Amino acid sequence: MKEKTICMVGFGNVAKAFARLIQRKENELKDKYDVAFRVTAIATGRHGRALDPQGIDLTRALELSAAGKKLDELSKTSSPDSIEDFIVQSRADFLLENSPVNYENGEPALTHIRCALEHDMHAVSANKGPVVHAYHELKKLAGQHQRKYLFESAVMDGAPVFSVFREALPAANLVAFEGILNSCTNLLIELMEQGKSFDEAVAYAQSIGIAETDPSGDIDGWDAAIKVAAIVTVLMDTPYKPQQVERQGIRGITQAEIRQAQKDGSRWKLVCRGEKIGGRIVSKVAPEMVTPQSPLYSVSGTSSFVLFKTDVLPGLGLLESNPSPDTTAYGLLADVLNILKTE
């Protein structure tokens, strides 16, 4: 049986869900995939670091994290100060990069991923930043080291947005796409349809952990724009930044407009669009009123949806309902297993 080691940078909602997932699937992974995983390193921002070449006790790491405690007591060797030295010292087969997204420049995740690939580790990440700021560079670097950089969970969590093109659609060229790629705003608009004011909807979404303390990344369309940029960059093979997406968030939608749309049998949605026209990309994130004839109309709550138009399949849709850190963690595991298939 193969033994594969993992270095985790970031031990938040997604990474902890991944830790629980590989514990839950331990026997299945051994029986069906002939692999056992050992997490040898975990780094956080403010909650310390753990390094143990024999394998960190994940149950204890999860307990310490749940108690808001630091992870350092799990270390069996001293931890270097710099995060790059930490990644190198982990000598792991995989880096799992799950630090917070940076819309501006993808850092520090970009540095972490670059460091891992330069030291012959595969890199798997749910972080959108490095995808839009350095996908082509990282792909080339991975190739030079005969390693892989995959990021399925960066868009629509565990839904196979990137791997469906990579694995299942050879010689299909993406021409255009439309979709609902931000769950938070989709939920906020639905709460307003149910009669809540914008502020009440935001407060409720915050109380159930869907909206962040500063929800502007979602509300002003940045999260949607970075996902549009990631799809254009990877699936249209064109480097594209979130700042290039024409972007309007949902702050301007009034309750009166929402009521009027309901009377007309329509719904407001924050719609993402991208199209390749000649060699040029046209992209947009903006609120639109959609009718029941649109596949976007029935995308409810925190669900997300994308409809791809390719030169061979004119309409192929992917719907993800009930996303959570668990579904994001599954996307990471799928990337890891897909990489192992190629070894």
Ligand X SMILES: NC(=O)c1ccc[n+]([C@@H]2O[C@H](COP(=O)([O-])OP(=O)(O)OC[C@H]3O[C@@H](n4cnc5c(N)ncnc54)[C@H](OP(=O)(O)O)[C@@H]3O)[C@@H](O)[C@H]2O)c1
Which residues are near ligand X by CB under 6 A? 9-15, 43-47, 83, 98-101, 108, 126-128, 153, 157, 325, 328
* Closest listed residue to residue 297, CA positions, set 264, 274, 322, 324: 264
Instruction: Tell me whether residue 89 or residue 99 sits nearer to ligand X (CB atom).
Output: 99
* Closest listed residue to residue 40, CA positions, set 93, 77, 95, 90: 90
Instruction: Tell me whether residue 112 or residue 247 sits nearer to ligand X (CB atom).
Output: 112
DSSP state of 166: I
DSSP letter string over 74-116? G-SSPPPSSHHHHHHHHT-SEEEE-PPP-TTT-TTHHHHHHHH
Instruction: Tell me whether residue 13 or residue 75 sits nearer to ligand X (CB atom).
Output: 13
Nearest-angstrom CA–CA distance, 174 and 309: 6
Backbone angles phi, psi at 152, to 5 degrees: -50, -40
Nearest-angstrom CA–CA distance, 171 and 310: 10
Cβ proximity of 219 and 248 under 8 Å: no
Give least dist CB 269 to ligand X, A: 20
Nearest-angstrom CA–CA distance, 291 and 293: 5
Backbone angles phi, psi at 122, to 5 degrees: -70, 155
Q: What is the dihedral of CA 327, 332, 334, 337, to 10 degrees?
A: -150
* Closest listed residue to residue 15, CA positions, set 68, 62, 47, 53: 62
